[in-house]
Chain A
Amino acid sequence: MTDRTPDNSEVQRMSLESALDVLARRREEQVVVGTMTANGVWREKSPHDLNLACIGFMGGASTLALGVALAQPERDVWVIDGDGSLMMQLGSLGTIAGAAPNNFLHIVIHNGVYETSGSQPLPSQQQVDFARMAEGAGYAQTASFGDAEEFDAALDELLAAKGPTLIQLYTRPGGRFYSARPTPPGITPALARMWPPVAEALAAD
């Protein structure tokens, strides 16, 4: 039995920008995989040659990051995931917990909606709790924050501990809407342009 009656409508929520500011202040040489609306904001706040993005395969950010983390055990790898994205490949929580990379930080932006497609509600929008799911899957540590100052105060201790760690950040939807433009024939896809320089940087280090 649980004594908790989940109701996400009552949780405190911060802005996406304030949440990512907290992370950006700790950015050093981590590989960071972003996805969906948070990715654009992250790249503005923390431009870096070790940024990767999950674009065009929604749900794949966390396992792309897992591969990098397993290949580079001495380097911290962060993924800035979305709640809708994680819902699409929820089994990845078990995959990540099973692989148990100590260097893996899983940020989940919990705004409760599919923001890129027009802010439609997530399934179980009012109930879903990814920190509890990750705890059940076997992550080493989990935490949730809805206030940027509290997140800021707790983050260093969370980063110092062994992962895999999942931090759920309750944020307010920002109304960011993404409408894909047609891709001209013959264009090299963004992912194919993006990852080779990251691979080269990692190999050179």
Chain B
Amino acid sequence: MTAQSIPADLLLSAIREAGVQDVVLVPDTHQRTVLDLLMDDDHIRTVHCSTEDEAIAVSAGLIIGGRRPMMQIQHAGLYASVNNLRGVGLDGQFPIVMLIGLLGRDPELEPEADGSSMVRLCRPLLETLGIPSYLLDGPDDLHHVAAAFDEAAERGGPVALLVGTTTS
């Protein structure tokens, strides 16, 4: 397998088509081209957080207030945010969709075979938490974006989308 770069405009289109109104983010090097587009977008609001655990709580508050947010973070932030992911996302049963960049991943390998613990442990951690995840390893995987919102709403809980390589 070889993960392919996803063009930023295609990922943005998928986010728009999923009906996202707010992107709650801590910057991710991996998705910087998408972030550039999002920050210039007239229809999607970006909310910039200091930490990823804040991003989870902000997303939950937006959902309570009737908005449709999506989180955009880096894998290191997933590890940093586990208590809020548990206490807000899981215990609160909030349908939070998280776009998580696998910064530094070897695109030739499955994430679990990667030399970096940040990449390698990402899916096992999500599995431990009972959070479904889908790997976006190229433009053909973008159908997972809208589907993730449907699944999050149906199950009443978070769903993760892992961006497999740097967006272009």
CA distance A91 to B58 in the complex (A): 13
- Interface membership of chain B positions 91-108, coded 1 if the CB is closer than 8 angstroms to chain A and 0 otherwise: 111100000000000000
Binding stretch for chain B, among A9-17, A120-128, A147-155, A187-195: A187-195
Assess the A67–B65 pair: CB atoms within 8 A. yes
Assess the B91–A67 pair: CB atoms within 8 A. no
Give 15 A-B contacts (CB < 8 Å), ordered by A residue. A56-B91, A57-B53, A60-B56, A60-B87, A63-B55, A64-B61, A67-B64, A71-B65, A71-B66, A71-B67, A91-B51, A92-B50, A189-B93, A195-B60, A195-B92
- Interface membership of chain B positions 65-109, coded 1 if the CB is closer than 8 angstroms to chain A and 0 otherwise: 111010000000000000110111001111000000000000000
Residues from chain B with Cβ under 8 Å of A191 in the complex: 87-88, 91-93
Binding stretch for chain B, among A18-26, A40-48, A94-102, A111-119: A94-102
Of all chain B residues, the one with the shortest Cβ separation from A66 is B58
Assess the A95–B48 pair: CB atoms within 8 A. yes
Residues from chain A with Cβ under 8 Å of B87 in the complex: 56-57, 60, 191
| Residue from A56, A92, A203 within 8 A of B66 (CB atoms) | A203
Binding site for B on A (CB under 8 A): 52, 54, 56-57, 59-60, 63-72, 89, 91-92, 94-95, 98-99, 188-192, 195, 198-199, 202-203
| Residue from B53, B60, B83, B93 within 8 A of A67 (CB atoms) | B60
B157: min CB distance to chain A, Å? 9
Residues from chain A with Cβ under 8 Å of B129 in the complex: none
CA distance A136 to B48 in the complex (A): 18
CA distance A98 to B67 in the complex (A): 19
Assess the A71–B61 pair: CB atoms within 8 A. yes
Give the number of residue pairs across the A-B interface with Cβ within 8 Å. Answer: 119
Q: Which of B47, B50, B83 has the most CB of A within 10 A?
A: B50
CA distance A94 to B26 in the complex (A): 13
* Interface residues on chain B, number (Cβ under 8 Å): 34
Binding site for A on B (CB under 8 A): 22, 24, 45, 47-51, 53-67, 69, 83-84, 86-88, 91-94, 156
Residues from chain A with Cβ under 8 Å of B61 in the complex: 63-71
CA distance A65 to B62 in the complex (A): 9
Assess the B93–A192 pair: CB atoms within 8 A. yes
Assess the A198–B22 pair: CB atoms within 8 A. no
| Residue from B50, B56, B63, B64 within 8 A of A52 (CB atoms) | B64
A126: min CB distance to chain B, Å? 26
Of all chain A residues, the one with the shortest Cβ separation from B51 is A91
Residues from chain A with Cβ under 8 Å of B47 in the complex: 67, 70, 95, 99
Residues from chain B with Cβ under 8 Å of A57 in the complex: 53, 57, 83-84, 86-88, 91
CA distance A199 to B56 in the complex (A): 17
Assess the A63–B64 pair: CB atoms within 8 A. no
A105: min CB distance to chain B, Å? 15
